[in-house]
Amino acid sequence: MSEKIKTVFIQGPIKPEFITDSIAKHSSRQDIGAHSIFLGQVRRDQQSSGETIAIEYSCYPEMAEAALHTIREETFACYPLTCMHIYHSLGEVKSGEISLFVFTSSTHRRAAIDACNEVVERIKQEVAIWGKEILSDAGTLWKKKMNQPEAN
């Protein structure tokens, strides 16, 4: 299912209305039997110098979108999906707000669930999106990627 590279980045948080609208647009599709949705929400973590009150996301969009396109195409090749949407925030997202929205659809639930899970894991491992935690004490802390080695 080769398509052009889609724009996946949204400035600021992903609004609940955007998510609801995306879901509603699929209600007329009669070939879909299941949807799986992942929503990544910024949590208020306690750090050594304060609480995380927001995360500022950044990336090199062309490189990140190319990596997301590869993940999308490889997932379609492995699972019998009818639809997939990926959206990620850039800029500041406050704790409690949504920063990642992955939505997969298939004729059967297992494919939708497994594909959604795989896409989320691959985004965390493979896509160069950086998050700088903004702390309550006005400090910042860069989030560590899952596959990033420990600093010495």
Kindly state whether residue 148 falls inside one of the protein's structural domains: no
Kindly state whether residue 91 falls inside one of the protein's structural domains: yes
What is residue 140's predicted lDDT score, i.e. its pLDDT? 79
What is residue 145's predicted lDDT score, i.e. its pLDDT? 59
What is residue 151's predicted lDDT score, i.e. its pLDDT? 42
What is residue 143's predicted lDDT score, i.e. its pLDDT? 74
pTM of the model: 0.88
Kindly state whether residue 126 falls inside one of the protein's structural domains: yes
Domain that holds residue 54: 9-15+31-142
**CATH number of domain containing 114:** 3.90.1170.40
What is the count of structural domains for the chain?
Answer: 1
Q: What is the mean pLDDT of each run of 10 residues along the chain (152 residues)?
A: 74 97 91 96 83 94 94 97 96 97 97 98 95 86 58 39
Kindly state whether residue 110 falls inside one of the protein's structural domains: yes
3-state secondary structure the chain: CCCCCCCCEEECCECHHHHHHHHHCCCCCCCCCEEEEEEEECCCCEECCEEEEEEEEEECHHHHHHHHHHHHHHHHHHCCEEEEEEEEEEEEEECCCEEEEEEEEECCHHHHHHHHHHHHHHHHHHCCEEEEEEECCCCEEECCCCCCCCCC
